[in-house]
Amino acid sequence: MKHTTYLKLLVTLVLPVAAAALFTSAQAAPGDLDPTFGSDGTVLVVYPLALEITNAVAAQANGKIVLAGYISGTSGDNPDFDVSRLNSDGSFDESFGDAGTVNTDFGFADRAYAVLLQTDGKIIAAGSSDTFFALARYNADGSLDSSFGEFGDGRVRTAVSGGGAAQINGIALQSDGKIVVAGRAGDQAAHTLDFAILRYNADGTLDTSFGTGGGTNVDFFAGNDAAFALVIQANGKIVAGGSASRGDASSPDFALVRLNANGSLDNTFSGDGKVATDFSSSLDGIYGLALQADGKIVAAGYTYVTSEANDNFALARYKSDGTLDSSFGSGGKVITDIDPVTDEAHAVVVQADGHIIAGGIAGSPGDLDFALARYDSSGALDTGFGDAGIVTTFLTSKDDVINGLALQPDGKVVAAGVANGGNGLGVARYLTGGTATASNLLNISTRLNVLTGDNALIGGFIISGTDPKQVIVRAIGPTLGTLGVPDFLADPTLELHLPDGSVVTNDNWKDTQEAEIEGSGFAPANELESSILATLEPGAYTAIVRGAKGGTGVGLVEAYDLDAAAGSLANISTRGFVDTGDNVMIGGFIIGGGDSTVLVRGIGPSLIDFGVAGALQDPTLELHNGDGDTLAENDDWKDSQQTEIDATGLPPGDDRESAILSTLPPGAYTAILRGALDTTGVGLVEVYDLQ
């Protein structure tokens, strides 16, 4: 592996303190640069002896910003992946890689075009290596993740069906940890470029259950097609957007593809899983996709307006069936002219309040500037943002190009891309007037030793809010064996008890709802496992896992939130027999959106008051993050945080019980309930979302 060091010059502009304070207090408004970031809202890094191209940006929950692209000598030869992380103030994060930056060489011409943040804090950059799809996964400190890739070096190269100029342009994470990428593959000169969509397991191996051998190629009109953006809907369906040309014509259209969770084309989307939208008789294309809370799809890109001889921002909004949403713009389409010469939208985000922000370029080639446009839900420019809905930002006298946008949990929007005509990195952060992203529990699960009778695995969860919510509940056993868990439950059964007293049951998940469960993206891996998919009204629910025919063993109960309705999974409580060693009680939960305050409780003695025999007399509790680090421990809840826990209104009923109150960023967490001094008994672990 080669290692090349490129000189970087951090360019700053120093404002008088009084002027900066005046800007903050008197002039701050939606669309303004954030004066707390970098130099008056921007970070500009010039590489005098290098070509530096930033293509993607992602915002961590802690305010740090991850950038991905590639870097090479000024000739452009032998580029490497280039991944950087900034602190929330715009300075380089020196705890990441080499002074905030990591270059990764696959041994070829390597370019990153997309970046993904996993819930466990790991980072994936994706793009191309020569003519192969390429991915690299990094630990939180910037080191390559040895658990990823066939050779344990954190890198994956994949030859794609269709060959030619294969390149990943979009990446997304499924809620089960699998990684979906989208881009292009084929021969451009022969007009055989197609959408190429692949899915990887969490360890970087291809998921052969997806498409054909792990991938799906999609052709539109026997011309050149390419996917540039990717999103995964709440129901697990996969949407890729880009452009599609007819035959050898050089006049592409907006193009969308939707796949089922198994990689097949979704025929409920425009009849064949494919949609093409023509804005003009010339050039149109999608560069960015975003999902609204109501499930509608927003696409942003460009259209060449022949009568004006220039490119303009172009946006379209689609309903869940693939038809254009006529309530948006004119017949579902919006065209915005910012500069008389060239405007293109390269990325799009949807704010929590429903406003849509598109980012890209405006100006003349050789003197392009960062450009943003904000729209209300009808597609009209938001006159409360910038200058009548438009913001342009000058960084250098050469081309400055937004290639990516990211919304921070505090509502600010980060734009990142190319500066100084390709010899620089440019980042800007803007005020939006928005609020912090709402948090919610996306998944809750508990693992323990499932016994018989009253010592079955009993999980309860509450759906809050006023809206129904689609949830999938699973009972897992044999799959645990493939993960190295001994004495797993060989044939779990599942009961879902509803608030009205009715019960829904399932033994083997393929017996009922097979198509619906597969379509959700959460089908159990083993046919003997159980699953129930249901749309549930707000209320309290109980899931009970037993072994078929009285079987026993280690089992897992899970509930996944499948939609973006206002309601949320607000609480899980699981009761069962707490043993020792590997058979303690292990509860897991995933936080999405913004930070969330949770109360985790370990209950034992209080169960006696409810007639439970053999209660765990002295439970202890541990809280771990996705990396396995211990965040907090507690034995008796009054030993620490007593005042804060009392204030929640949810203190345990016995002094020997345990509780941990913590505000946590988005990610995966585990709560472990044991008996003090290796005692055993029936225990209860609970997670309350107090947001």
- 450 and 598 in a single domain? The answer is yes
Residues 199 and 178 sit within 8 Å (Cβ to Cβ) = yes
* Residue ending a domain, choose from 227, 262, 297: 262
Residue 415 domain-assigned (yes or no): no
Residues 620 and 597 in one domain: yes
Q: Could you give the residue ranges of the DSSP H alpha helices within 472-556?
A: 478-482, 514-520
Find the CATH number of the domain harbouring 544. 2.60.120.380
Distance, CA of 350 to CA of 348 (rounded, Å): 7
Select from 572, 441, 419 the least CA-distant residue to 42. Answer: 419
- Domain end (from 103, 126, 158): 158
Rounded CA-CA distance 304/165 in Å is 25
The reported pLDDT for the residue numbered 526 is: 92
Pure H helices in 412-570: 478-482, 514-520
Residue 239's Cβ-count burial label (10 Å; 0-12, 13-18, 19+) is buried
CA distance readout (Å), 40 to 243, 362, 410, 557, 575? 37, 21, 18, 50, 54
Q: Does any domain span residue 638?
A: yes
Confidence at residue 376, expressed as pLDDT on a 0 to 100 scale: 95
Q: What angle do CA 663, 669, 671 make, to 5 degrees?
A: 95
- Is the same domain home to 123 and 178? no
What pLDDT score does 449 carry?
83
Do both 98 and 226 map to the same domain? Answer: no
Rg of the chain on CA atoms, in Å:
26
Long-range contacts of 244-247 (CB under 8 A, 24+ apart): 244/220, 244/276, 245/191, 245/220, 245/221, 246/221, 246/222, 247/191, 247/221, 247/222, 247/223
In a domain, 140, yes or no: yes
Q: Choose one of 129, 158, 187: the last residue of a domain.
A: 158
Tokens in use for 112?
């990153």
What CATH number corresponds to the domain at position 165? 2.40.10
* Same domain? 137 vs 167: no
Tally of domains in the chain: 3
123 and 176 inside one domain: no
The CA-atom distances, in angstroms, between 111 and each of 81, 301, 615 are: 5, 22, 58
Instruction: Report pLDDT for 570.
Output: 56
Q: Is the same domain home to 145 and 177?
A: no
- Helix, strand or coil for residue 168? strand
Indicate whether 178 and 122 sit together in one domain: no
286 lies in a domain? no
pLDDT value of position 27: 46
Q: How far is CA 278 from CA 78, 101, 132, 297, in A?
A: 37, 41, 31, 17
Residue 564 included in any domain? yes
Verify that 583 and 490 share a domain, yes or no.
yes
Q: Give burial (CB, 10 Å; 0-12/13-18/19+) of 515.
A: exposed
Residue 409 domain flag = no
Number of neighbours of residue 503 by Cβ within 10 angstroms: 10
Domain limits for position 126: 1-24+47-158
User: Are 448 and 596 found together in one domain?
Assistant: yes
Q: Are both 1 and 52 inside the same structural domain?
A: yes
334 φ, ψ (degrees, to nearest 5): -135, 135
DSSP state of 548: G
pLDDT at site 184: 96
In-domain check, residue 363: no
pLDDT, averaged per 10 consecutive residues of the chain (691 residues), comes to 45 31 49 94 90 94 91 87 96 95 96 92 95 96 95 96 87 90 92 94 96 96 94 90 84 95 96 94 92 91 83 96 97 96 96 92 96 97 96 97 92 95 95 67 68 84 78 89 85 91 92 86 89 87 91 87 60 76 82 78 87 90 86 94 86 93 84 93 84 61
> Are 173 and 126 members of one domain?
no
Residue 125 tokens, joined: 């950059």
Q: Is residue 425 part of a domain?
A: no
Element (H, E) at 21: helix 17-22
- Helical ranges in 32-109 per DSSP H: none
